[in-house]
A and B are shown apart, each in its own frame.
Chain A
């Protein structure tokens, strides 16, 4: 029941255009086929995004899904929000979320770009295909599998530890170290999804006019100068767009991945907004507080996405939308 506020603004233009003075009827007639075509999408949007928003009211109610339901559960005003803000676990979750977001932005986001550049520089089509497939593959593994692989490799009884012990060194256990946890989840993310993220950038790269490279090379530009003046500027709009989208989504740092490793490092290091909401709502039945948590997260995400969009505009990029 996470409110879809963050994604709402960008889809808003799908609604029928605002009436212009004088010619509303005329415009309706002129655009009727377009409007008709938009109708199914608008219908789905209303049904699956706007109608469920009614359940935001759970955040202001003593909600009981079994006995009284949404409509007759009593209103409790801001009690759930107060409880939420008084809960130190919520603030810990917030701090962890922000830390992981930041790490992901710094350590994860550039990886697909770098990989795309590398892949793009491979001349052999075949080699490129093989490398790409190897990179994509982990994306299709479930988190359970990814974490098991990491546990088997880096855990206290894992392959690396056992290798070290066999050679007379001390073993180590990376999986239960709360201090390393945030780097660990970022590393897992890179391993699983960086290859997948390459696709968009490769597509953008394929649209670069090859003549530009030839011309630049003829003018004596080296490899680095060509990358700096041709390749990267070509990628810039895509990078900006993905960055804004990523920032809007940034408070969603992974749910299953983190929940699966919660006991290993404890909630102090691993609780994030999404696991907190799950824990309080679904596992404990405090639906009101959980909904309030989701709402706060949604509002926060909205602010972030607006800010990031603004920054993109200032940098002269299109961003996700423009007024």
Chain B
């Protein structure tokens, strides 16, 4: 899969399972310092202001000083330029691949990398790794872990003394005190990248500023980001081929969706209308996104997602789908990981997933089922009008460099990262995403197509160290690029930024697990095991248990740092 798609797919898949960012730790030394001045109680342990557990964010002048200067890349022009905030699309490969890095960036060092991996693990010693390492002039020793259970191991690994040199941490795995671990264990990259210093690494300089902005942890620039597309997290897919064959009309309102779903569902023929649509429902009814972007400002007051009517309406609509038995029974049983299999085999015709599935399933089904066409339906509002869609975070996966590395080693790692961050249309990008021509891919109609060896060996791994600006570039399936970019542009017209957009926020420890019960509660409500009344009770428990104090904390954050809108 080219171009960093796996992680997106995962973010949508895993989010339902691992959004437990709870006891987050500390953040900006600036906020902590302000707390000291205000006489706030501080737990002085190892002396650093970073271990206060008070949380916060970094913004304004403090932030500007940290951010790398943006220098756009001149590698290639997209044939579908960005509109309404959409990512640029590439349907073709440029005639001539350019080189964005001269010589070998590495100096012969060897580094361990701890990263997630989705799909079948490639062989440890492969021609692909050897070829990329050769071009890097350094060796990466991979310690990959299954992406779906990555977070369960990450915590223990970070607590040990044997932390890898390069460690990838996705946003949705920052549960518990991982934020604190990041500040404690990983290097400050500011001295190497802030301001004009980044110009030494032109491909890193071409990473959008808002992605870097999300990479500030504990008041320091620590992360190497994987920039994300603005609306990639939740896409409502449907089987266009089956819809056309059966004459189904793509629904344009929640009611129409439910009516169509009833029409589609025929258990006797093993066909159900949809998978669990809870993530789409939240967008349809205009819910704010996940923590920490779950606040709205209404009449000068902060309102949490859980307190909105939109949240209740989304729950109620999803409950109706479950009650009407139009949701595939395996999805009711919580087997979300196999949703795509049920979708491709025609057992369910609509599902929401990350945008990566668009290309991923198209490529996967091309030979197995040539008629298979996956398409995204346009989001609609609660009454069938325009939806309100909140923009996703500009980056939600980072890698970090171990604090124990020497200055020279960090510089070598950054040079390696610069190579990996090469944008679309460069020789470096081709090598990282497709391996060696003739061995891992061949050129068919001007587009690279992976060989059997390529499919086996070239799996996204280097991408988890760093990535270039997010694009939509599938020259082997140009129609997917056109469809996806078109969808993104149409949806982009209704896109809004959440209140704290682009800020890397750490809630104080004591509030960190406040939102936890809602995740289970939502699952119970849509399956009819609990009622909306229970949700309202949970909201009042939430308020009493610290939700109101958390609101004050965010209000203060808003006053101090301004909004991200």
A52 beta carbon closer than 8 Å to chain B: no
B497 beta carbon closer than 8 Å to chain A: no
Contact B529 A284 (CB under 8 A): no
| Bound CA–CA A268/B178 (angstroms) | 29
Number of interface residues of B (CB under 8 A): 47
List B contacts of A283 (CB < 8 A).
Answer: 18, 20, 151-152, 175
Question: Do A155 and B333 form a contact, CB below 8 Å, given A74-B43, A285-B23, A285-B175?
Answer: yes
Contact B329 A176 (CB under 8 A): yes
A25 beta carbon closer than 8 Å to chain B: no
Contact A157 B270 (CB under 8 A): yes
Q: Which residue of A lies closest to B332 (CB)?
A: A176
B43 nearest CB across to chain A (Å): 6
**Which of B115-123, B180-188, B192-200 lies on the face that meets chain A?**
B180-188
A263 beta carbon closer than 8 Å to chain B: yes
Q: Which residue of B lies closest to A72 (CB)?
A: B45
- Among candidates A157, A166, A266, A282, residue contacting B524 with C-beta atoms closer than 8 Å: A266
A257 nearest CB across to chain B (Å): 14
Contact A67 B334 (CB under 8 A): no
Contact B155 A165 (CB under 8 A): no
| Bound CA–CA A158/B330 (angstroms) | 9
A86 nearest CB across to chain B (Å): 10
Contact A285 B176 (CB under 8 A): yes
Residue in B181, B329, B335, B512 with the greatest tally of chain A CB atoms within 10 Å = B329
Contact A263 B523 (CB under 8 A): yes
- Among candidates A65, A262, A284, residue contacting B20 with C-beta atoms closer than 8 Å: A284
Query: Which residues of chain B (231-252) have a CB below 8 Å from chain A?
Result: none
B419 nearest CB across to chain A (Å): 31
A259 nearest CB across to chain B (Å): 11
List B contacts of A64 (CB < 8 A).
Answer: 25, 51, 177, 180
B307 nearest CB across to chain A (Å): 21
| Bound CA–CA A178/B446 (angstroms) | 56
B46 beta carbon closer than 8 Å to chain A: yes
| Bound CA–CA A162/B329 (angstroms) | 12
Contact A286 B22 (CB under 8 A): yes
Question: Do A67 and B330 form a contact, CB below 8 Å, given A72-B45, A151-B335, A283-B20?
Answer: no
B328 beta carbon closer than 8 Å to chain A: yes
Question: Do A264 and B51 form a contact, CB below 8 Å, given A64-B177, A157-B329, A286-B513?
Answer: no
1/0 per residue, CB under 8 A from B, across A261-286: the answer is 11111111000000000000011111
| Bound CA–CA A166/B270 (angstroms) | 10
1/0 per residue, CB under 8 A from A, across B323-354: the answer is 00000111011111000000000010000000
Query: Which residues of chain A (40-75) have a CB below 8 Å from chain B?
Result: 62, 64-68, 72-74
| Bound CA–CA A175/B331 (angstroms) | 11
List A contacts of B176 (CB < 8 A).
Answer: 284-287
B323 nearest CB across to chain A (Å): 13
| Bound CA–CA A166/B266 (angstroms) | 12
Contact A67 B51 (CB under 8 A): yes
Residue in B18, B22, B332 with the greatest tally of chain A CB atoms within 10 Å = B332
B158 beta carbon closer than 8 Å to chain A: yes
- Among candidates B43, B178, B332, residue contacting A156 with C-beta atoms closer than 8 Å: B332
A173 beta carbon closer than 8 Å to chain B: yes
List A contacts of B335 (CB < 8 A).
Answer: 151
Contact A284 B22 (CB under 8 A): yes
Q: Which residue of B lies closest to A267 (CB)?
A: B520
Contact B177 A65 (CB under 8 A): yes
Query: Which residues of chain B (1-56) have a CB below 8 Å from chain A?
Result: 18, 20, 22-23, 25, 43, 45-46, 50-51
Question: Do A175 and B177 form a contact, CB below 8 Å, given A263-B523, A268-B529, A282-B155?
Answer: no
Contact B513 A68 (CB under 8 A): no
A93 nearest CB across to chain B (Å): 12
List B contacts of A158 (CB < 8 A).
Answer: 329
| Bound CA–CA A30/B537 (angstroms) | 70
Contact A263 B334 (CB under 8 A): yes
Q: Which residue of A lies closest to B153 (CB)?
A: A282
B131 beta carbon closer than 8 Å to chain A: no
A95 nearest CB across to chain B (Å): 16
22 contacts between A and B (CB under 8 A): A65-B155, A66-B178, A67-B25, A67-B45, A67-B183, A74-B43, A151-B330, A156-B328, A156-B333, A157-B330, A165-B267, A261-B334, A262-B334, A263-B523, A264-B332, A264-B333, A264-B334, A266-B524, A284-B175, A284-B513, A285-B155, A285-B513
Beyond known contacts A156-B328, A284-B176: 17 more, CB 8 A cutoff: A65-B159, A66-B158, A74-B43, A151-B330, A155-B333, A156-B330, A156-B332, A157-B267, A165-B267, A173-B329, A266-B524, A266-B529, A268-B524, A284-B20, A284-B23, A284-B512, A285-B178
6 A-B pairs with the lowest CB-CB distances in the bound complex, closest first? A285-B176, A156-B329, A263-B334, A66-B181, A65-B159, A264-B333
